[in-house]
Amino acid sequence: VKQKGKNDYYVFQDDHLKKKLPDLILLGDLHKSIRNRELFIVYQPIIDVKTTKIRAMETLVRWYHPVHGTVPPSEFIPLAEETGFIVSIGEWVIRQACEQHEKWKKIGLPPVRIAVNISVKELQDQHFAKRVEAILSQKQISPEYLELEITESLMIYNEPIILNNLMRMKEIGVRLSIDDFGTGYSSLAYLKRLDVDTVKIDQSFIADCPRSYYGSVITTTIISLAHHLGMNVIAEGVEHLDQFRYLEEKGCQEAQGYLFSRPLHPKEATKLLFQGIRH
């Protein structure tokens, strides 16, 4: 087994290189992506379960690479986090989101919340809150329409800078949402301390609903917990009608997923806001 292990070592080395080399090439390109206007945002609606009206749009970033085509966030966000470039990407996304909100307002659409994904790395920057405040005042968007989605795992970082940034956001009226709820290190104390507005039930639990016992129990428990704490609940990854019916029955307020819409380019998103969701 040991001898075989020696071969495995070389195999591992090759795989390691195969994985790391393109990363390095991509990394050089990534730093030019904002300047070259290669980043773009797609918007996925979050709907009101009772009325199917659109309540919010989540911004999901994409990178259109001149050679590789569209690179999904799962491939470049971790790289951007490692190098700190995520701070620039994040600021760009928030600015775009606020600009889009302004455009929708100008053409007379009823206002929807804009939900933006935020990395831990962004929150570790002591100027985060100040930069968001500056964008909000430039864009004349009322803070309650901005919702920051943070992943639950960052709750384990008991860092004053992160907490100060988040508390400042709450102070000025920006909403906080816990993404992928139920998968990370839940600290219920933080929900209270940060006065979180929304929890998003992770799509892995919704995928198991209503057929699997565990998925259903976890989903209903999260809904009940959130309601007892006065929070809004969003179910994400809703793909089938039976999942939707289940969530409706359990009193989940909002839902998001392919059943209603895939993430859309700004023009398509605008069209959908005019038309509404048909079902």
- Binding-site ranges for Ca ion (CB under 5 A): 117, 149, 179-180
**Cβ atoms of 254 and 234 closer than 8 Å:** yes
Q: Which does 173 bind (CB under 5 to 8 A by kind): ligand C2E, Ca ion, none?
A: none
Residue 177 binds to ligand C2E (criterion: CB under 6 A) = no
Residue 266 binds to ligand C2E (criterion: CB under 6 A) = no
Q: State the binding string over 123-162 for ligand C2E (x if CB under 6 A, else -).
A: ----------------------------------------
**Cβ atoms of 43 and 57 closer than 8 Å:** yes
Q: How many helices (H) and strands (E) does the chain have?
A: 11, 9
Residue 61 binds to ligand C2E (criterion: CB under 6 A) = yes
- Name which position in 45, 182, 210, 257 contacts ligand C2E (CB under 6 A): 257
Token duo for residue 21:
């080399």
- DSSP label of 166: H
Q: State the binding string over 31-50 for ligand C2E (x if CB under 6 A, else -).
A: -------------x------
Residue 179 binds to ligand C2E (criterion: CB under 6 A) = yes
Angular region, 32: left φ>0, alpha ψ -120 to 50, beta rest: alpha
Of 71-79, 106-114, 131-139, 222-230, the window that binds ligand C2E (rule: CB under 6 A) is 71-79
Residue 279 binds to ligand C2E (criterion: CB under 6 A) = no
Q: How far is the CB of 260 from ligand C2E (least distance, A)?
A: 8
Helices 73-83 and 2-33: crossing angle, nearest 10°? Answer: 80
Token duo for residue 50:
């009772």
Pairing outcome for strands 232-235 and 198-201: parallel
Q: Which does 182 bind (CB under 5 to 8 A by kind): ligand C2E, Ca ion, none?
A: none
State the Cα–Cα distance between residues 171 and 154, nearest whole angstrom: 20
- DSSP label of 110: P
Residue 237 binds to ligand C2E (criterion: CB under 6 A) = yes
3-state secondary structure of 159: coil
Which residues are near ligand C2E by CB under 6 A?
Answer: 44, 59-61, 72-74, 77, 90, 93, 117-119, 179-180, 203, 237-239, 257-258, 263
